[in-house]
Amino acid sequence: MKKHATTPISHRQSVLTRLLPVLLLLLLPAVGGMTGCAEDDELSEPQNLYNVKGNEWIYEQMVHHYYWTDELPTKEKLNFNENMADFYEHLIYSGDRFSYYKRNGSYNGNLDQYLKQMPRCGVECQVYETPQGKTIARTLLVYPDSPMASVLRRGDWFTLSADGHTLTLLTLLPDATTLSGESIPVRTTASRSSANSSVYLDTVYHIDGHRIGYMHYTSFDDIFPLISSLKRLHEADITEMILDLRYNGGGFVTTSIYLATAFVPDSLYGQPAQYLRYNKTVSMERFGSEDGYTVYNYCDASDMHNQSSHPRHIYFLVGRSTASASESTINLIRPFVPATLIGERTVGKGIGMYDISDNNHPLTLVPITFRYYNNQWETVPDSGLVVDHYVPNGNSVSMKDMGRFDEPLLAAALEQILGYRPPVDSHATPPARRRSALPTLTEEEEAQAIRQLRPISSPSTYYLRQGFILPEENR
């Protein structure tokens, strides 16, 4: 049985190959002598990607599973002799922003030199290209126990050497050029830090009689990281909840429903939460009707809290990286709990996918295969969810540490709850980490510079925790 995921974002292989030397961010500061990995061989295109039978398999799977199967080109218009990756790309409907492919880990052949799999690390970033063609990255999150916590902090700009062995801190100037700062030897390695948890931070702020829960959640992985965090929040009998999904690009349908269940009324347990609709072929095959659909119910979360522990209002912190299961979670909660969206308009992905693979073929296909709806039969609009309170540049420019009262999106939520912004020196504010010695720009100057950059990684950054290269490879 296929495990549904609403993970977004097409990451085209032509981009992967071009960016690989820059995106080797599974880094540790070099200690003593350089103990890094051997340099990667040049990535060449293997002959087993040129495979007529492989392309015939791809076409067959797309005709059967693809949500927009009616938009597929006819066989006569296709070149079955071309590279499998290119062939797949040529099948994708022009209105499809999200279908992608990845390495098939069970393939009988060997594609490791072409589709590179990277282990996890404790850093999340957004990658850009400058007007001069230089590839740079900006740090979004650094897990406290990440080996890179002593090197990078939230908001830092950096680049990597071509061999991936040297990280150079940068200052972004108003004209979008960069000034190089300290260069740090690094080596590629897997991190065993809390980066493996999708809950970056959870805490409760006790202010003026309010018990305000806050959780920064980065990806809808398995539910286990959520269980202890949600239990702590509910045991504190929170009065309001701030759920930070600004960098969360999606994940598993079931995890989304579990998180939503934690905040909806207990009377909904066991009731329909979400419907998934497929193309006519899959619907007929699974349900005996072209109008058939999958139903997921709200689960029983009574062991997590009692009847009185539901927050009376939920504030969602969102932005241009909030997609898929994140948007779905909002739609699962909003009909039943007063909710406010703060930040910037979301991606707009009311559609999902599942993996399609065969051991005889090197690629795993991840095409869009279904659209999801809440129990009011509402889906996420393709234009995204509109916020109630717009916080300009909150996601891309103002980079205060998460959980601090001067972090723009959190500050806006607290102001909605309290009627004022609590002082930054409050005892509840986590201390800021050491700042880089590089010169910094004003917020206005940095906004001016960022407007001149071109994002060249996906609009969502959830998968960067898993190595910058292949989204959802470990799932």
Q: Both ends of the chain: CA-CA distance in Å? A: 14
| Per-residue pLDDT, 121 | 64
Return the SS3 of 85: helix
Q: Residue 101 in contact with residue 14, Cβ under 8 Å?
A: no
Whether residue 396 is predicted with pLDDT greater than 90 in this model: the reply is: no
Highest mean pLDDT of the ranges 309-313, 369-373, 448-452: 369-373
How sure is the predictor about 428, in pLDDT bands with cuts at 50, 70 and 90?
Answer: low
Q: What is the pLDDT of residues 3-31, one digit of tens each?
A: 455 433 333 333 333 333 333 333 333 33
Q: What is the pLDDT of residues 40-96, one digit of tens each?
A: 333 344 556 778 999 999 999 999 999 999 999 999 999 999 999 999 999 999 999
Whether residue 102 is predicted with pLDDT greater than 70 in this model: the reply is: yes
Whether residue 472 is predicted with pLDDT greater than 60 in this model: the reply is: no
Q: What is the pLDDT of residues 169-203, one digit of tens each?
A: 898 888 989 888 888 887 645 444 455 578 999 99
> For residues 146 and 19, what is the distance between their CA atoms, to the nearest angstrom?
23
Strands 368-374 and 272-277: antiparallel
Whether residue 139 is predicted with pLDDT greater than 50 in this model: the reply is: yes
Burial class (CB in 10 A: 0-12, 13-18, 19+), 174: middle
CB burial of 28-61 (b: ≥16 within 10 Å; e: otherwise) equals bebeeeeebeeeeeeeeebebbebeebbebbbeb
| Per-residue pLDDT, 23 | 38
In this structure, what token pair is assigned to residue 409? 């999106």
**Higher-confidence position of 360 and 336:** 336
Whether residue 222 is predicted with pLDDT greater than 70 in this model: the reply is: yes
Q: In what order do the strands lie in the sheet with 166-172?
A: 27-29, 178-188, 166-172, 157-160, 135-142, 123-129, 454-455
> For residues 96 and 78, what is the distance between their CA atoms, to the nearest angstrom?
19
Instruction: Name which of 22, 23, 27, 24 is nearest 147 in CA terms.
Output: 27
How sure is the predictor about 262, in pLDDT bands with cuts at 50, 70 and 90?
Answer: very high
| Per-residue pLDDT, 127 | 85
Q: Residue 356 in contact with residue 17, Cβ under 8 Å?
A: no
| Per-residue pLDDT, 27 | 38
